[in-house]
Amino acid sequence: MITVYGATDTGLARKINQDRFCCEVLSDSLAYAVLCDGMGGPAGGHVASQTAADFVKDMLERDLKPDMPEQSLRAVMLSAAAGANAMVYDAAKKDPELAGMGTTMILAVFSGEHIFAAHAGDSRIYRIEDGKAVRLTKDHTVVQMLLDIGEITEEEAKDHPKRHFITRAVGVGPAVDADFSEYPFLPGAPILICSDGLYNYVEEDTLPGLVARALGEKSAAPLIDLANEGGGGDNITAVIVLRE
């Protein structure tokens, strides 16, 4: 059995919520979650995330089937990401006010004992296990590149002036290079999918306790609330997925 809880909030500093998410349990062994964090000005960011999330939702609900082989799942997911990219990119070309818009994307499918994920940008997936939050995805950012080559430390990355510079996103070019990964979907080890408006305002070591509280309350609101208490400087989205 799969349980999903999600919530989003504008935060305390922004006037418009440019985050969008959708999630659905399709059967006892199949579910999906999509999270998009838009960029490109108030109008553009909102349009990009909404366009991408809606397209992916429609495609997944049409094409996902229980017990699909990995090759078929991968094809559906990457096609959905490519289609969302084309929709956002074409919309930006047609309207000068939307020029340059784009969105991060986490697209996760939970099938049986497996998690399949396609992502671009700096929204994240964590697995909560043994009292720790283990990050499964790698950010597509300038700071992550600097970390990878040893130019900066993890401590320096937290306040780096380029920490918001994204190297991959949906809709900013004619094609998107989304990473595709597979992870075990462990019973009793919740998955947290979130935008940077959560993890930039909540310490990672508090995430396991927050997720446990959220599951107890059957709501992702505790994560949103703590991010706002930490400053709420960005839009905040959190989706929790649990296999029981």
- In this structure, of 18-32, 157-171, 173-187, 197-211, the range with the lowest mean pLDDT score is 157-171
Q: Decide: helix, strand or coil at residue 145.
A: helix
- In this structure, of 103-112, 163-172, 211-220, the range with the lowest mean pLDDT score is 163-172
Sign, CA torsion 236/8/119/90: negative
- Split at pLDDT 50, 70, 90, the class of 55 is very high
Q: What is the largest CA-CA distance in the chain?
A: 49
In angstroms, the first-to-last Cα distance of the chain is 6
- Split at pLDDT 50, 70, 90, the class of 79 is very high
Q: Decide: helix, strand or coil at residue 146.
A: helix
The two three-digit tokens of residue 117, written as one number: 């994920």
Give the architecture (CATH level 2) of 2-243.
4-Layer Sandwich (3.60)
- Split at pLDDT 50, 70, 90, the class of 89 is very high
- Residue 42 has a pLDDT of 67
Of 55, 39, 46, the closest CA to residue 102 belongs to 39
- Residue 161 has a pLDDT of 74
Residue 159 has pLDDT above 80, yes or no: no
15 backbone dihedrals φ, ψ, rounded to 5°: -90, -25
CA angle 144, 44, 236 (to 5 degrees): 55
CA angle 61, 67, 68 (to 5 degrees): 65
Average pLDDT over residues 34-60: 93
- Residue 165 has a pLDDT of 87
What are the sequence ranges of the domains in the chain? 2-243
Looking at the chain, the whole-number percentage of residues with pLDDT higher than 90 is 87
- Split at pLDDT 50, 70, 90, the class of 148 is confident
How many CA atoms are closer than 13 Å to the CA of 17, on its beta-carbon side? 17
